[in-house]
Amino acid sequence: MLAQVDTFVGPEVGWFALSPMLTLLGGALSLMLIGALTPQWPKGMYATYSAVVAAAAGGLAMFQWDDITDSEPTTLVGGAIAFDTLSMFLTITICAALLLVSLLTSDFISGTPNDGPEIYSLYMAAAIGAIVMASANDLIVLFLGLETLSLALYVLAASNRRSGESAEAGIKYFVLGGFASAFFLYGIALIYGATGTTNISEMVAVLHSSVDVFHADSLALAGIALLLVGLGFKVAAAPFHVWAPDVYQGSPTPVTAFMASVGKAAAFAAMLRVLVIALPFYRDDWRPIIWVLALLSLLVGSFLAIVQNNVKRMLAYSSISHAGFILVGVEAAAHRAGEANPGSGLPAVVMYLLLYSVLVIGSFAVVAIVQRDSGGDASLDAFKGLATRRPMLAIGMTVFLLAQAGVPFTSGFIAKFGVIQAAADEHSYAIAIIAMVVAVVAAFVYLKIMVSMWFADPADDAPRIVVPFFAGLTVFAAAIFTLLVGVFPGWLIDAADTVTAYAR
């Protein structure tokens, strides 16, 4: 008699809930296929296609976010994907950054051998990986998203085949990124050994019932330490920041903008998922490490940026400093990780990620425009007299620099005030005071660039700066958003406050 074979029943997928990711996936695959089967598209059409796909995915994420706020967060695909406001807010951030970077890239690579569908398909593939990282409810799924993002970024960093600096940036990023991924994966293995699962919801349940607050599990602590090494590299936090200045400088400028926005947002999303949501019972063990990383990032990023003369390197070190500010918010969120009232740390972090993404894309857009007509020069000398050559471009750059310095009535002030206030609410006064002092030091970096633009005379042979349409549109949109949020921040603060209802 034949034994009865049980029928396999797969998990319920929830296709519409996954529509933002599926939209990007369909856009990337269709662009590669159609682009390969058709002649060269007219100028700007690849970028327009990518921007439309990003806008469609972002619109679907907004619809899903509104639906979640009216119901309850849940999980999808057998508990592997979190369907909550945190994932949707970060998905909107990633799609907005993808849209802006796609427009910027069009003018930067137009007329070069790189002008084709491949760059934009890689952008969309990287965005999918970033969204998976923001939505993962399983550490293995999170790692898959991390590798999808990382592999696309390695190729994008080396995508300028006419530049030796781009090739060098790609190989440096690949080698160091591989080490970081190995640390992260080994950390997952140790966490699995300590809990018996990689699913975040199941992990929380296991730790809730078995964690020993008096005798910490050394296997779990070793896993957390390795996870922090991998995540510290991905967010470019000191002392794991060494790759950032060289990779930011050598990569094509639009790719640098993509790394600094989408890459950083995805890495911090992973940090929130792993530490705040999955491992709240070990918060007293990992919170001091986050405190130290925040301190080192603030100091290293701000003080080393001062001695730079290349604007891309200045912004690279500035991104390390901004990572320190975001870590201040993560440290604040750690105080109430796992509690019914999660505090203001988590909303402050996700709001900072959105505002900084727009800021940094606008900043690098101006750098790309100046570089384009200066033979690739991104030094302070290339920005001399920009106010007399292109006053509107100088005004846009000034808005971004003031915002990064945290000047009131800009989005940067709202972002920095949010994380510092969150730290003060949790009585982390020391790191809050240090962050405020460092913000004053960092302002000197942005002042150097502004002095070069507004008070230095342009060289006699200074090239004429031409502002292409899409690049100018990117700068304009980013500047308007920066000022709008700075003057009317209430709507965004209210939206960010909803992310504390994450899937458990």
Nearest to 293 by CA among 267, 312, 273: 267
Whether 229 contacts 183, CB under 8 Å: yes
- Cα dist from 399 to 196, 338, 347, 367, 413, whole Å: 50, 38, 24, 14, 12
Residue 392: which region, alpha, beta or left (left: phi > 0; alpha: psi -120 to 50)?
A: alpha
Whether 146 contacts 130, CB under 8 Å: no
Query: What DSSP character marks residue 229?
Result: H
Strands (DSSP E) contained in 27-116 are: 74-76, 81-83
Q: How far apart are CA 319 and CA 183, in angstroms?
A: 23
What is the pLDDT, as a whole number, of residue 212? 59
Q: How far apart are CA 434 and CA 56, in angstroms?
A: 41
Q: Which two tokens stand for residue 308?
A: 């730079």
Q: How far apart are CA 4 and CA 2, in angstroms?
A: 6
What is the pLDDT, as a whole number, of residue 8? 66
AA letter at 117: P
What is the pLDDT, as a whole number, of residue 1? 45
Q: How far apart are CA 4 and CA 286, in angstroms?
A: 50
Q: Which two tokens stand for residue 351?
A: 């709001």
What is the pLDDT, as a whole number, of residue 22? 95
What is the pLDDT, as a whole number, of residue 54? 97
Nearest to 80 by CA among 12, 138, 22: 138
Q: Which two tokens stand for residue 14?
A: 């929830």
The length of the chain, given as a count of residues: 504
Q: Which two tokens stand for residue 160?
A: 């300028």
Whether 435 contacts 420, CB under 8 Å: yes
Q: Which two tokens stand for residue 215?
A: 């005798």
167-203 pLDDT, tens digit per residue, is 999 999 999 999 999 999 999 999 999 888 999 989 9
What is the pLDDT, as a whole number, of residue 247? 94
3-state secondary structure of 159: coil
Q: Is 38 exposed, middle or buried (0-12, 13-18, 19+ CB in 10 A)?
A: exposed
Q: How far apart are CA 160 and CA 371, in angstroms?
A: 14
Place of tokens 């700075």: 486
> Which residue ranges of the chain lie beneath pLDDT 70?
1-6, 8, 210-216, 460, 503-504
| 88 Cβ contact partners less than 8 Å away, ≥ 6 residues apart | 61, 62, 64, 65, 68
Whether 230 contacts 181, CB under 8 Å: yes
Residue 355 sits at φ, ψ, to 5 deg, of -65, -40
DSSP 52-63: HHHHHHHHHHHH
What is the pLDDT, as a whole number, of residue 110? 77
Q: How far apart are CA 290 and CA 271, in angstroms?
A: 10
| 157 Cβ contact partners less than 8 Å away, ≥ 6 residues apart | 166, 169, 170, 173, 247, 250, 251, 255, 259
Q: How far apart are CA 349 and CA 416, in angstroms?
A: 10
Whether 156 contacts 123, CB under 8 Å: yes
Nearest to 349 by CA among 405, 267, 228, 244: 267
